[in-house]
Amino acid sequence: MLAFPGLQKKSKLPPCADRGDRIMTTTPSAAPSFWQVEVTLPRSALPALEAALEPVSVAVSWVEADEARDLWTLQALCAERPDNAVLLPAVALAAATAGIEEPEPVIVRIEARDWLAQSAIAFPPLRVGRVYIHGSHHEEAPPVGSWPLRLDAATAFGSGDHESTKGCLQAFNALARRGRKRNVLDVGCGSGILGLAAARGWAVPVLGVDIDPESVRVARYNTRRNGLRAFLRVEPGVGVGGRLVQARAPYDLIFANILARPLCALAAPLARLLEPGGHVVLAGLLTRQAAQVLSAYRRQGLHLEQRLVLGAWTTLVLTRRGERP
C-alpha cells in the first residue's frame, strides 16, 4: 500500500497499468514530485470517482474525514497536474451518484521525498491463507507451513494489500486446499504476486504476461529474488493470443486481475485456453460490474463457483465443467 501521512484506508492503482498497490521505488535524489487531488464525498460515491480517476492517477487512497456524516476524502496521486477536462466530469459523476452538490477538488503539489523509506515502514508482513508476503526489511522467520514471498515496494502493482489482489489470493488458497494445479497463466501479472504464489505453493509451470514493460521487469526481478525462475516465466504481451501463451495451453488455472471492460473482451479467448475442470479467477472489477463480467463468461460455457466481495471489489471464480483430459 502506498503510504502518506494521514492515509489509513485503501490504495488502488489502475489494473494492468495494472491493478492496485503500486509504490514508487526511488532513492531520495531521484524521488519524483507528484500532484495530489483531494475530493471529499460520501462513501457511496468513492468507487465511481476512483474508477473515473484510474486512467490519470498512479495511486488512489481513501481516508475518513467525518464519521458522523460518513464523509471520506479521496486522494489521487498523479504524475502530472490533472486536466480539468478529465477531473471535473469525474467529480460531477461521483456527486451525481451520491445525489449531492458537486464538491470542489483541491489540487496540491507533493514535493520529492524518499517514498521507499516511508513505504517500507507502512508495509508490514501480510498473510492471506498460507501465502505470507513480506518486504526485505522484515527479518523475522516466516510462519511455519506458510508459503513466503518477498516483495518490496515497487513500480508494478501487487503487494497483496488491495482488495482485488487479496481476493485472488483468497481464491488461490481455496483452490489449493482442493489439490494442486498443473499449468497456470497469470494475465496482467503486475509484480508477479499471483504467479509467484502458485509457483511457491505448487512448484508447477506458471506463465505471467503483462502489457506494461515495467511490470514485466519487476515481476522478473521478484521471480529471481524468490528463487522461482524454474517455475515462473514472465513475458511481455499485448493479449492472450501470443504464440507462447497458445503453445503452453490449455491451463487448469488462469488469473486475470485487470479491469471489467478488458475482462469482458477476453471472455472468449480465456475460455478457449481453459481445460475442462479448470478454473479462471477474475478480479479488478467493482462489485457493480460483476454481473456484466459474469454474463460474458457464462456465454462461453463457464460456471460461477465462488464470489468473493471485499469492500467495493469482487473476485469471481469460474470453472469449465468436465473431467481433465
| Structure-block grid coordinates of residue 53 | 480517476
Distance of alpha carbon 57 from alpha carbon 78, whole angstroms: 4
Q: pLDDT tens digit string along 272-295? A: 999 999 999 999 988 999 999 999
Three-state DSSP at 162 gives: coil
224-261 CB burial, b ≥16 within 10 A, e <16: eebebeebbbbeebeebeeeebeebbbbbbbbbbbbbe
User: How crowded is residue 56: how many other Cβ atoms within 10 Å of its Cβ?
Assistant: 19
pLDDT, residue 66, reads 78
Q: For 20-25, what is the mean pLDDT?
A: 36
Among residues of the chain, what percentage have pLDDT more than 70?
Answer: 81
Distance of alpha carbon 169 from alpha carbon 103, whole angstroms: 36
Residue 75 CB-half CA count within 13 A: 21
Q: pLDDT tens digit string along 187-212? A: 999 889 999 999 999 999 999 999 88
Helix axes 193-202, 213-225, angle to 10 degrees: 30
Mean pLDDT of the chain: 81
Q: pLDDT tens digit string along 91-143? A: 888 888 778 888 888 888 876 655 555 555 556 788 999 999 988 777 788 88
Cis peptide before 5 (omega within 30 of 0): no
Comma-separated ranges of CATH 3.40.50.150 domains in the chain: 155-319
pLDDT, residue 43, reads 83
188 labelled binding-site residue: yes
Residue 284 CB-half CA count within 13 A: 28
- Alpha carbon 73 to its chain centroid, in Å, reads 22
171: enclosing H helix or E strand: helix 163-176
pLDDT, residue 31, reads 47
201 labelled binding-site residue: no
pLDDT, residue 49, reads 82
Distance of alpha carbon 191 from alpha carbon 57, whole angstroms: 18
165 labelled binding-site residue: yes
Comma-separated ranges of CATH 3.30.70.260 domains in the chain: 33-111
- Angle 236-238-242 (CA atoms, 0-180°, nearest 5)? 80
pLDDT, residue 21, reads 41
Distance of alpha carbon 130 from alpha carbon 189, whole angstroms: 20
Distance of alpha carbon 316 from alpha carbon 80, whole angstroms: 34
Distance of alpha carbon 112 from alpha carbon 313, whole angstroms: 32
Three-state DSSP at 37 gives: strand
**With bands split at pLDDT 50, 70 and 90, how would you rate the model's confidence at 1?**
very low
Three-state DSSP at 172 gives: helix
| Structure-block grid coordinates of residue 57 | 492517477
Higher per-residue pLDDT: 12 or 243: 243
Distance of alpha carbon 74 from alpha carbon 187, whole angstroms: 29
Give the class (CATH, top level) of 33-111. Answer: alpha beta
User: Cell numbers 497456470 correspond to what residue?
Assistant: 184
257 labelled binding-site residue: yes
Q: Kindly report the length of the chain.
A: 325
The CATH H-level (homologous superfamily) assignment of domain 155-319 is Vaccinia Virus protein VP39 (3.40.50.150)
